[in-house]
Each structure stands twice: as C-alpha cells, then as structure tokens.
C-alpha cells in the first residue's frame, strides 16, 4: 500500500532536536528587544547562566528605538563614564564578557535609514517588522551559531515581530524565551540582576528589598519552525516581513502542480521551478504516471514501450528531436540504467528544494517506495493535484 505521507527520514526526530539544543555552539548569541527595560538583557543572561548546563553568551545584540537607546546604553562600559551593567554582571559572577559594543545595538530605521524614536503609526509598524525580521535572518544565517531570543523588554509590537521572525527563520538549536520577575522590581534604575551579595534597594511599592533574594524565572516559549519552507533565495536575501510570511504560507496550502507545455515550465505551489530539459522530461514522465495512477517505477521494469522509449517520446513531444535530443537518445541506447535513473531523481529533488525550500518542496519530491533492492520511485501527489496547460 502506498503511503500518502513523506518518509520518516524527511521529518526531524525529537532526539535530533534535543541534540541540536545540547550541542555547544561556538557562537552563542542573545538577542533582545528593549524599549523601557534594558534590565531584561542582564536578567536573561543571569537566568541562562544558572541553567544546567550553564548557557553563557559569546555576544549580545539588542534591538531598540531612539527612545530606548539611552536605557540600553546603560549596559555598555563607559557609557556614563563608568562600568556598564553587563560588565558588572560578568564581574560579579566571574563570567567571560560577551561581545557587546555600540555596533551590537540595532536601532530600528525606516526605508531611508532614519532612526525611529518610537513605534506608533502603521508605517512605523511596517518598518519595525521588516527591520526586526532582517536582524533575525542575519543572525540565523551562520551555521555555527545558536540564537536565544528574549522578548520581554520591548513594546508589544516589537515582541510580537521578533517572536514571529524566529518562527520564520529559527533553526532546531534556537530558543525563544521570556524572563519573569515580580512587578515590584520592574523598571528600577538600580536593579539589573540579583547580585551574589546582599544589596538593599527600594521597590516600586516603596518597600526595601534585598536584591540578592529576587527570583528570576526564565520560561521557554515553544514556536513553530517554518524555516525549511522558505525558498533559499529568501533566506539569503533582503525580503520584507510580508514577503517572508507569504512564502511561509505557501507551504501550508494544498499542493498543486501545473505544467505549461508551450512554455515548458513547471510550477509547484504557484512557484516556477526552473529545470534543464532532461529533468523536465523526467518529472513530466513521473507526473503522467502519477495522474494515470500507474505504480511507482523501478529502472528494471519491463513495460511496453520500454522505459527508455517512454522517456524519449516525452522528450520529442516537448523539445523535438533536435539539439541535445540525439545525445540523450545515444546515452539510452542500451536502456535506462540504475545510475542514470537515480541521478535524475536526485537532481530533481535537489532542484525542488533549492527553488522552494524543503518544507514547501516536500509534497513535490520523488520518493522511494519499498525496500532494497526492489525500491521504486514515484510521487505522493494525487491525480487531481496535477494540471496541464495545453496549447
């Protein structure tokens, strides 16, 4: 019986995800959004440090607005002629100081590069969404990194966008977190983390408290990872937030293939998938068999006409018997061989993944059925999902 689901090898296993998280990454990046409360940076680092095993950042990045910049600069050394709060935390707990300079503070800008003082208008929201998603995309582009995002300190729009951006671009090893402290300690100018010694401060309620006794809780927030559904060009480019959302939505839609015979174009899920003629012919061959509800194919199958002639007939129908046709026909004089067959399948799947992204490409891939040495090749598509645009 043919399965309508992708093979298990196409689905990340829980153990793989756990291994990704437990791996010690050479670059461990904390990214936070901060508006009025830069304390979330040091509070999050404090909480991560106390995890088992301890997680220590190698660099810190903060996204903020013009109004939030002054507060964030309190984390920097020499910002006010003294030691910044980040250095104080590392000194108190004997931690290596992560990289954090003015270049690590990302001020949200508009299309013309002007900094936004705040996020209030519809236009501000669009600029913030695009800016935040691009920062997350860049920081997740390096394979040797793990990104931990804290969404506790920004405006609600900022925290929404950074969480959504991680859902778009996040990998197995990346985390989304939210740091929690009692309301009495919010926005206090002298409380950035519980120190390892007694320190008495005054809370929002006017009552004194020992900062060393404050409980800081870090909650992990589960999120859906849509990265594998994005085309490679989107992951490497400078696309807007809305374009990224549109691309991710494609992978959730009902799969549909359209082959335009006049243009010799293959469209999968509304996206053009460029292929050289030999791969186009092979894929159209598989589409025809799928729509005719014929069984998956083994390169040794005995059919009439023989497999090589079936393939060449489609080639002639689409591209004629000129040009590279004779080269292809000469190579198949002895029939279709294993290496030739497997190579076409591999090249097609690679092309689909590059054009569509793994998630969106999954319904359109050529799958292996059965067990070796009698494995067969075919599509998981249903006949009604295949359409032909005839002249």
Task: Reply yes or no on whether the pLDDT at 2 is more than 80.
Answer: no
- Give the residue extent of every domain in the chain: 8-181+216-249, 254-389
Asked whether 387 and 374 are in contact (CB, 8 A), the reply is no
Nearest to 325 by CA among 284, 286, 281: 281
Whole-model pTM: value is 0.63
In this prediction, residue 16 has a pLDDT band, given cuts at 50, 70 and 90, of very low
Distance CA 349, CA 162 (A): 32
Domain 8-181+216-249: CATH architecture, name and number where available:
3-Layer(aba) Sandwich (3.40)
Per-residue pLDDT tens digits for 214-257: 999 999 999 888 787 676 777 777 777 777 777 666 655 678 89
In this prediction, residue 348 has a pLDDT band, given cuts at 50, 70 and 90, of very high
Distance CA 184, CA 182 (A): 5
Question: Between residues 187 and 20, which one has the greater pLDDT?
Answer: 187
| Token pair in block for residue 250 | 């494609």
| Token pair in block for residue 218 | 């870090």
DSSP letters for 248-266:
HHHTTSPP-EEEETTTTEE
- Give the least confident one: 41-55, 331-345, 366-380: 366-380
CB atoms within 10 A of CB 199: 15
pLDDT for the residue numbered 1: 30
Distance CA 229, CA 248 (A): 6
pLDDT above 70: percentage of residues in the chain: 89
In this prediction, residue 154 has a pLDDT band, given cuts at 50, 70 and 90, of low
Per-residue pLDDT tens digits for 107-133: 998 878 888 888 888 888 888 888 999
Per-residue pLDDT tens digits for 248-306: 666 556 788 999 999 999 999 888 999 999 999 999 999 999 999 998 999 999 998 99
CA angle 281, 287, 288 (to 5 degrees): 90
- Nearest-Å Rg of the Cα atoms of the chain is 28
């Amino acid at each position: 019986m043919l399965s309508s689901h992708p093979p298990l090898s196409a689905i990340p296993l829980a153990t793989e995800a756990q291994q990704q998280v437990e791996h010690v990454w050479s670059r461990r990046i904390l990214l936070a959004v901060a508006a009025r409360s830069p304390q979330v940076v040091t509070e999050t680092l404090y909480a991560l440090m106390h995890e088992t095993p301890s997680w220590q950042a190698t660099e810190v990045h903060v996204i903020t607005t013009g109004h939030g910049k002054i507060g964030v600069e309190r984390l920097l050394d020499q910002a006010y002629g003294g030691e910044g709060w980040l250095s104080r935390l590392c000194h108190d707990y004997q931690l290596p100081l992560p990289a954090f300079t003015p270049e690590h503070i990302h001020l949200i800008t508009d299309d013309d590069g002007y900094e936004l003082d705040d996020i209030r208008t519809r236009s501000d929201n669009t600029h913030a969404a695009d800016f935040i998603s691009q920062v997350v995309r860049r920081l997740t582009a390096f394979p040797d990194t793990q990104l931990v995002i804290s969404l506790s300190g920004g405006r609600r729009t900022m925290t929404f966008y950074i969480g959504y951006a991680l859902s778009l671009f996040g990998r197995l090893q990346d985390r989304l977190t939210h740091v929690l402290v009692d309301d009495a300690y919010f926005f206090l100018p002298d409380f950035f983390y519980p120190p390892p010694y007694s320190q008495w401060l005054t809370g929002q309620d006017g009552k004194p408290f020992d900062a060393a006794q404050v409980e800081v809780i870090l909650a992990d927030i589960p999120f859906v990872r849509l990265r594998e559904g994005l085309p490679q060009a989107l992951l490497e480019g400078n696309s807007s937030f809305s374009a990224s959302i549109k691309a991710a939505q494609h992978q959730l839609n009902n799969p549909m293939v359209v082959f335009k015979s006049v243009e010799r174009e293959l469209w999968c899920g509304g996206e053009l998938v460029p292929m050289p003629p030999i791969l186009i012919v092979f894929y159209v061959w598989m589409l025809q068999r799928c729509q005719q509800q014929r069984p998956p194919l083994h390169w040794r199958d005995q059919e009439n006409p023989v497999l090589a002639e079936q393939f060449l007939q489609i080639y002639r129908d689409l591209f004629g018997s000129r040009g590279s046709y004779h080269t292809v026909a000469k190579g198949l004089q002895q029939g279709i061989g294993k290496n030739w067959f497997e190579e076409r399948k591999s090249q097609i799947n690679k092309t689909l993944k590059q054009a569509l992204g793994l998630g969106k490409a999954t319904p359109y891939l050529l799958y292996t059925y059965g067990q070796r040495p009698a494995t067969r090749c075919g599509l998981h598509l249903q006949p009604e999902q295949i359409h032909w645009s005839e002249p």
